[in-house]
Amino acid sequence: MDNHLEPPTSSWMDIKYYMYTRLVLSYYRSEILLKLQILQQGGMCVNEYFKLLKSFLMKTGLHDGTNEVKVARFMSDLRKDIQDIVELYEYSSLGNVLHLEKIEA
């Protein structure tokens, strides 16, 4: 029996942490963090931008952050014309902001 075996995991979070720390290469995470840092909505529709942002957050392990941080991040990288419109509405979650996407049309 191998004495270097780690104890069995006790939760999904343990498994997720183990897989992330053992299997995700650091350069891959660094590359995604860089892409996340320079992400802007640009010519994408709001829905495309949201999906890309969500994907980057998931791949870097940052998706578990507070809702306020995610909304602030989402809003800060929207085009200014859309930011101005969205700020007129009340929203409390990223889901609420995404539903305002229809105002872009």
Rounded to whole angstroms, how far apart are CA atoms 97 and 86? 7
Token duo for residue 3: 């004495």
Q: Work out the burial of residue 53: count CB atoms within 10 Å of its CB; fewer than 13 is exposed, 13-18 middle, 19 or more buried.
A: buried
In the chain, what are the domain boundaries? 12-104
Which among 96, 99, 100, 26 has a CA at the least distance from the CA of 61?
Answer: 26
The answer to whether the pTM exceeds 0.95 is: no
Residue pointed to by tokens 């200014």: 80
Per-residue pLDDT of the chain in tens (105 residues, 90 and over written 9): 455 666 666 788 888 777 777 776 676 888 888 998 899 999 998 889 988 988 888 888 776 667 777 778 888 888 888 888 777 776 666 666 666 555 544
